[in-house]
Structure 1
Amino acid sequence: MTRHGRLRRLRATVAAGTAWVALVGGGLVGATPARGAPNGLRQLTETTLAPGVDYRRFAVSTPHGTAYAHLLTVDLRTARTATGLLYPDAVGARAPVTRLADARGAVAAVNGDFFNITEIQHPGVEATGAPVGPAVAGGRVLKGAVPRGQRFGPALPPGASVRDVIGVGTDRRARVDRLSLRGTVRTPRGALRLRGLNQYAVAVDGVGAFTSDWGTTSRVRATCGTDTDRSAPCSTETREVTVRRGRVTAVARTPGKGAIASDAVVLVGREAGARALRGLRVGDPVRTAYTLKGTQRTPFDFAVGGYPIARDGRPLEGLDAVTTAVRTGAGVGRGGRLLHLLALDGRAEYRSGLTIAELAEVMLELGARDVVNLDGGGSSTLVTRPPGGTRTKVRNHPSGGSERPVPNGIGVFTRS
């Protein structure tokens, strides 16, 4: 459907008496729209940050106030342009987006996945800060997705999954996909299915693996809650087995914390998974293998969790059209050659933001065909590095008044 067609459909919705987003006008007082603004959005500024990387700012008028959108458009056809996953060198850790971007020399970035932000339901258990969905960095598998009932964030729309991701493949094309963990633990007593990889929650009755990528954060949270209830009590039947260079080197009744050696894997089991690990002894041979399986053969260079809200140029059915918030979205256009990264402004006077349905329409108007919703609220952050500058600057006024530390983000780079 064309942009004009989508606007006609929105107007028809209004005639039927349904609330909608009026994607017209609403700019800053005295502002002059830049040339080339998409239909229904008022472009306020435009800056080229690097070859193939543009930053623009828009105003969006809605029934609940004016929202301001900050947009990065990345042309992956530009040879000097690259993208990647930003994270603080550990899955179970958080840092502000500016720090993540500056550490890697990014010219721009946005925040990424929802994450384990609090543990008020489990007194004494440490919140890990680890993200919800799968993650791939530099072509390397970092983690799998937690069970659906263990996720943080708004309710998923129909058909969405905790395993959904957006990323860029080794073919330099962006895409939305679904990544499922496939893994096996081979022991002297037989093979066990791996039910988690560097996750803050392992499936009930399962065995999860933790590698050096996890960091030093406690692994206790992995045995709390259930597949359908994040706030359920922690399991009372657990086991932890440390395997180094293919041999068991330590066993424990409860999960621990601290750094994991680069040549080691820590296996954490709960319920039936704990019972399966209980028979292992120091010196036993154990082999662990895993991968993330997608729907396409081309592997990801990077991927980050986020749930789809538009596909093939159309918003998905069942999107929330009532709840407004500051949001971050990412979209794919021109057959995967364009990556659109958007964060709404969280300044107090226009913090109402957009609904999920409105975010989908805005991203489609900007040229995306497939769109995902990333973490929002106080996490929504978009940063850029001015041409000739050495440090990035936050562009969108985070709603909490300052940057919230986040587990990961999408970085944009330019090669010299």
Structure 2
Amino acid sequence: MTRRQIRSGVGGSVLTFLAAFGTLAGVGLAGAAPAGAAQGAVGIAPGVSYRQFDLAAAKGPTHAHVLSLDLRDPRVSVDLLYPGTVAARATVSRLADARGAVAGVNGDFFNITETQHPGVEATGASVGPAIASGHVLKAAVPDGQRFGPELPPGTTTRNVIGVGTDRRARPDSLALVGSVTAAGERLPLGGLNQYALPVGSVGAFTSRWGTASRVRATCGTDTDRAAACSTDTYEVTVRGGRVVSAAGTPGRGPIASGTTVLVGREAGAQRLRKYFTGQAVKVRHRLVASASRKPYRFALGGYPVLRDGHPLPGLDGTTSAVRTAVGVADGGRRLLLFAVDGAPAHRSGLTIAEVADFMRTLGSTDAFSLDGGGSTTLVARAPGATTVSVRNHPSGGAERPVPNGIGVFSTP
């Protein structure tokens, strides 16, 4: 247990308001009090409350933590927590305190290791799209390049949970639409600040990427993350709308503001080799939503487990683990952030199917699974505190640095 943690063993408060719902699909509330009893929620800040409770799951008892956010309260907002660049990691508590968040949880799955590609460094970049404070940070890697459990049928790496400028939370899908134009020839853009590019494509890297090597972007294939790195690559640097340099292999290091590095693999590399120093190049990119015309202030990747009040078909009901999830309730006016405790006494965890059923029991109509295991972290301020404390016990014994998370903000 770290110094930031607040111990929350089996004797923690029980979520009592769910007692009337009974047990759903093997997930029950241990020691639930009669319906109508005190809920035991603790106010973290205006519009934000926290509670913890015991669960009787299929593989044994577990302990859960939930933050409830009232987005109808104008003092409450949600935004992406991240270290300032895509290819970087920090602990949730550090990210939250750096932004002045009152609470938060870890976010998307990410490029955590590269054992299949000796000599290639893991970038730490997340899998799915990301939007912070209304600014697009990155797009999604190909489905076959993601880290994390197998995606449920009908879902993709483009799936996100987001909050629009209308202050409503909703699930969506964000696809990259972009192009590279030079000498009258227009190329489709295959990636934006991604640790993996589609085979044969050209991807753009901006100052939001960070300093990590761009070699990983040319490794694996659209269906096989472990496939060998491409031997046919090329990189072109564009500054002020013109080519300023080129290289036969992707580089590393910071990318200056106003500069775009184009990385090509296979057919994409062959097209980039036609570019020359001084040539005018125009790069355009945006993320297009499939479900909403409202711009997103915040969006984060993960994968859906609950849609329109129904668990997705094909969810795993056998593998239990420590989990993080986010749920949308009350027509998008309430957001629920959920984390399973990783203490040894509770590490039996939940299956993905149990997560979906439990999030529905909490009142969610839509829910997303986020990165779990050693990444699962929920933080919140104690009354009167100016910094957050880790409320769950991370299963690795300490917080794991992660690329992003969901930050909760509340103004007086």
State TM-score, norm by structure 1: 0.92
Superposition map of 1:15-164 within 5 A: 20-26=25-31, 45-164=40-159
Report if aligned partners of 2:20, 2:35 keep a CA contact under 8 Å in 1.
no
CA deviation map 1:188-230 (0-9, x unaligned): 1500000000000000000000000001111000000000100
How much does 1:313 deviate?
1.1
Following TM superposition, by how much is the alpha carbon of 1:320 offset from its aligned partner in structure 2, in angstroms?
0.4
- Tell me how far 1:25 sits from its aligned partner: 2.5
**Misfit runs of 4+, over 4 Å:** 3-8, 32-37
Q: Which residue of 1 aligns with 2:409?
A: 413
In the other structure, the counterpart of 1:207 is 202
- Quote the Cα distance in structure 2 between the aligned partners of 1:48 and 1:94: 29
8 Å contact from structure 2 (residues 65, 341) kept in 1:
yes
Q: Distance in 2 between matches of 1:36 and 1:88?
A: 42
Counterpart secondary structure, 2:98: helix
Alignment RMSD: 1.7
Does structure 1 residue 324 correspond to structure 2 residue 329?
A: no
SS state at 2:52 partner: strand
Aligned residue for 1:396?
392
With over 3 angstroms needed to count, the CA separation of the structure-2 counterparts of 1:376 and 1:36, relative to structure 1, is: farther
Matching residue of 1:15: none
Number of the residue aligned with 2:367: 371
How far the C-alpha of 1:315 sits from its partner, in A, is 0.9
Paired residues of 1:346 and 1:397 also in contact (CA < 8 A): yes
| Alignment-mate amino acid for residue 21 of structure 1 | G
For 1:301, the aligned partner's letter is: R
Instruction: Give the secondary structure class of the aligned counterpart of 1:226.
Output: coil
SS state at 1:158 partner: coil
Task: Write the deviation string for residues 314-336 of structure 1: whole angstroms up to 9, x where unpaired.
Answer: 11111100000000000100010
Unaligned stretches of 5+ residues in structure 1: 11-19, 38-42
Partners of 2:293 and 2:310 in 1: CA distance: 25
Residues 122 and 233, structure 1, Cα contact 8 Å, conserved in 2? yes
Contact residue 243 and residue 249 of structure 1 kept, 8 A? yes
Which residue of structure 2 aligns with residue 338 of structure 1?
Answer: 334
Give the residue type in structure 2 aligned to 1:414.
S
SS at match of 1:212: coil
The Cα shift of 1:387 comes to 2.5
Aligned residue-pair number: 394
SS of the aligned residue for 1:369 comes to strand
2:338 match: secondary structure: strand
State the partner residue of 1:188. 183
- Which AA in structure 1 matches 2:112? I
Letter in 2 for 1:260: I
> Relative to 1, partners in 2 of residues 1:259 and 1:320: Cα closer, same or farther, differing over 3 Å?
same
Name the CA distance, whole Å, in 1 between partners of 2:34 and 2:139.
Answer: 43
Consecutive unaligned residues of structure 2, counting only runs of 5 or more, are 1-17
In structure 2, distance between residues paired with 1:193 and 1:185: 6
SS in 2 for 1:274: helix
Identity percentage of aligned residues: 61
Task: Give the partner amino acid of 1:198.
Answer: N
Q: 1:153-198 deviations in whole A, cap 9, x for unaligned?
A: 0001111110000010000000000000000001115000000000
The equivalent position to 2:266 in structure 1, one of 267, 271, 280, is: 271
One-letter amino acid matched to 2:297: D
Change (3 A) 1:6 1:319: farther
Per-residue CA shift, 1:389-408, capped at 9, x if unaligned? 12111001000000000000
The answer to whether 1:223 aligns with 2:218 is yes
Using the TM superposition, give the Cα deviation of residue 35 of structure 1 relative to its aligned residue in structure 2, in angstroms: 5.5
Distance, in Å, in 2 between the alignment partners of 1:5 and 1:223 is: 53
User: Using a 3 Å threshold, how does the CA distance of structure 1 residues 76 and 246 change in structure 2: closer, same or farther?
Assistant: same
Q: Does 1:285 align with 2:290?
A: no
* 1:301 paired to 2:306: no
Could you state the TM-score of these two structures normalised by the residue count of structure 2?
A: 0.93
Amino acid at match of 1:158: P
Question: Aligned pair in 2 of structure 1 residues 369, 4: CA closer, same or farther (>3 Å)?
Answer: farther
The residue aligned with 1:13 is: none
1: distance between equivalents of 2:43 and 2:131? 28
Q: Conserved in 1, the CA contact under 8 Å of 2:159 and 2:302?
A: yes
After superposition, the C-alpha distances for 1:7-66 in whole angstroms (9 at most, x for unaligned) are 68x5xxxxxxxxx41414257xxxx789657xxxxx6x4210111100011211123111
Go from structure 1 to structure 2 and tell me whether the alpha carbon gap of 1:276 and 1:315 turns closer, same or farther (over 3 Å shift): same
Q: Is the 8 A contact 1:26 1:66 kept in 2?
A: no
Task: Tell me if structure 1 keeps the 8 A contact 2:92–2:104.
Answer: yes
2:229 paired residue number: 234
Q: 1-side partners of 2:350 and 2:37: how far apart? A: 23
